Structure 1
Amino acid sequence: MATVTTDEARERIRAFLCRHTGPDLADTDDYFALGMVNSLFAMQLVVFVQKEFGLTLGPQQMVFDNFRTVNGLVRLVGDAS
């Protein structure tokens, strides 16, 4: 898959998350701590990121901090691309 820009990744991630959390999510909001999603949603995020961005995430990338905010996901996609 072609490399995506940070802005493109952020837009696609936000579109996915907003379907589950609503539109008022800031890029730094921890949607798990805020109770917007549950722990099972973490697996949905992993599957989404891998399919959406054509990535295979390894154990070193399966760190909760990578998945709890929009900024964390954008950083993960950028680092894994």
Structure 2
Amino acid sequence: MTVEPISADIAGPITAFLAERTKVDVPPDQDLFASGLVSSIFAMELIVHLEQTFDIAITGSDLRLDHFRTVDRMTGLVTRLRAGA
């Protein structure tokens, strides 16, 4: 999957945060939960990080674990929420 430039601006900080916290380079399509890198508790930290980094609010139906499974999915979520702001 090719990453659009604007998506790279979003995926980069997400990937850097994950690498810093997990000490692992995470491919954009790796399932973070299935691989055991991320727990549901850490997902809450991801939500806070995304909200603060990208100035968005993640609420309601957007608070599904599926939105946080991969860097690609988080990038899509942030892109969609920023477009709707």
- TM-score bracket, normalised by the shorter chain, equals 0.7 to 0.9
The share of aligned pairs that are identical, in percent, is: 32
Give the TM-score, by structure 1 length. 0.87
CA positional deviation for 1:20? 2.2
Instruction: Tell me, in whole angstroms, the C-alpha distance in 1 between the residues paired with 2:26 and 2:73.
Output: 14
Preserved contact between residue 20 and residue 37 of structure 1 (Cα < 8 Å): no
Unaligned runs of 5+ in 1: none
Unaligned runs of 5+ in 2: none
Preserved contact between residue 28 and residue 71 of structure 2 (Cα < 8 Å): yes
Partner of 2:64: 63
Give the TM-score, by structure 2 length. 0.83
C-alpha distance after superposition, 1:58-81 (max 9, x if no partner): 212111111010001000000000
The total of aligned residue pairs comes to 78
Partner of 2:36: 35
Q: Does 1:75 align with 2:80?
A: no
Structure with greater helix share of residues: 2
